[in-house]
Amino acid sequence: MAQTGVLLRRLQGIATIRSGANRAQMVTAALMAGEGRLTSSGALAVTTGAYTGRSPKDKYIVRDALTDPHVWWENSGAMAPAQFDLLLEDMLSFTTGRALYHEQLSAGADPAFRMAVSVFTETAWHALFIRNLLIRDAGEGAPMAATILHLPGFVADPVRHGTRTGTVIALDMSRNIVLIGGTHYAGEIKKSVFSLLNFHAPLNGVFPMHCSANVGPDGSTALFFGLSGTGKTTLSSDPSRPLIGDDEHLWSGSGVANIEGGCYAKTANLSAAAEPEIFAATKRFGTVIENVVIDEASGEPDFADLSLTENTRAAYPLDLLSSVAPGGLGAPPRSVVFLTADAFGVLPPIARLTPEQAAYHFLSGYTAKVAGTERGVTEPTATFSACFGAPFMSHHPHVYGDLFVRRLAEGGAQVWLINTGWIGGAFGVGKRIDIAATRRLVDAALSGELDTAAMRVDPNFGFEVPLAVAGLPKRLLDPRANWSDAGAYDTAAASLARMFEANMRRFEREAVAAE
């Protein structure tokens, strides 16, 4: 923890450091500073201003002897060591005479691969946020340590610091120092920790994953991979299956370990009926509710009001949930679920993948954006995010793909592709697959019910699709049968298959360039 100690001593000489506050003190400090307001149930509601999501184009990795041969530079901005050092000095100068909150936490539930994380931030609510999200111990004896200096009020100078804008997220992998400025969006702190581990873990033979994980009654672990909006948090939050973790995990030879100690759940259109665990957590004192409109009269959150952003969130510790796996650890997984929200209405609600198909779809990381979710998106748009988390991948996707294939071969996990998107037509014509039906399909897959089920082979993608699942209409399992025009379905399916092929050709070119 040498770097953390050096920065702490420097900060102590120029700023006021507030450490050791409990949750109630943090909430009180945030309210007194005007950083947020209490909801009717005691959650802390905050807004993040201009930035309501991550700024991936403003993220940089220091290019030095350690990172140069390993980082996927086509996917990561590079920063020279001298630029980083200048940025660090300017950010330290910015803290002169200011009060900073200091949180000493850790990431990684497996003691063999744990990182002590020291966070310094300007605001009480960001300190509360990261305490909710990481593991609440100091990581004493951890083999790695990192320091994050989070200054939303600091604006970078593109000319002086070599940045694109006034916003900056800069990571020095050699010293494990992260500098964040010019944005109040709290997710940048959380994801910077994941980015550090995404770099270091593969170098140690450990597979870092952007996924959720839970445990069945028989102790079997299931992983859920999926991009935003596919239902990863919703489907893994099941009272009958204790949650290992919500978003980020490590898979080593000994099993699965949560990186975090909390959940950062999307709350757009959240309801008690569809997502009872998440909804209940938003009612608890100390939960941070981000960019959710609060009714002025009642103090109630309006989760259907997305006028601030569609990326509304709630950050809460895992111990607020009714069923959590002890220690954040699980056995090697028996089941792996890839979630996609196919807005083209082409993919079946569930499919069984061979190991080769699993590797293909892992590298693809497919989902689809729907009209209206982003400026300029007027019709369904395919999105391919390698390994279901390209923005956080420090290495080339094939590095993570090779680790995934190795772990599958070691444990023999079965991989399933589940479509939580549309059926009967594309977005605007078809309808979203019912969440209750998706839960039934997940249960059938994880319980082993489908292991011996009769299957058909999809003519476009080659994977196996069950002919029947108890409790669901057979018609649901055949997307072609749900289209009013079968020929139009065939055209759409062939088009999506070509998109997959084009995406994989891009990876082949990048792999050659990386060699």
Cite the active site residues: 54, 191, 210, 228, 232-233, 247, 313
* Distance spanning both ends of the chain, measured CA to CA: 35
Q: Give the β-pairing of 288-290 and 313-317.
A: antiparallel
Say which amino acid occupies 282: T
- Cα-to-chain-centroid distance, residue 392: 9
What does each C-alpha distance from 128 to 19, 264, 319, 507 come to in angstroms?
12, 13, 15, 40
**Is the CA virtual torsion 308, 227, 56, 90 positive or negative?**
positive
List CB contacts of 388: < 8 A, sequence separation 6 or more: 210, 211, 225, 226, 227, 338, 362, 365
**Is the CA virtual torsion 504, 356, 191, 6 positive or negative?**
negative
Longest CA span, the chain? 72
Task: Take residue 456 and report the two structure tokens written for it.
Answer: 């058909």
With b for 16 or more beta-carbon neighbours within 10 A and e for fewer, the 3-39 pattern comes to bbeebbeebeeebeebeebeeeebbebbeeeebbbeb
- Give one DSSP letter per residue of 235-270, joined into a string: HH-BTTB-EEESSEEEEETTEEEES-SEEEEE-TT-
**Secondary structure string (H, E, C) spanning 132-147:** HHCECCCCCCCCEEEE
For 404, list phi and psi in degrees, rounded to 5: -60, -45
For 69, list phi and psi in degrees, rounded to 5: -80, -5
Give the orientation angle of helix 124-133 with respect to helix 187-203, to 10 degrees: 40
With b for 16 or more beta-carbon neighbours within 10 A and e for fewer, the 301-321 pattern comes to bebeebeebbbbbbbbbbebb
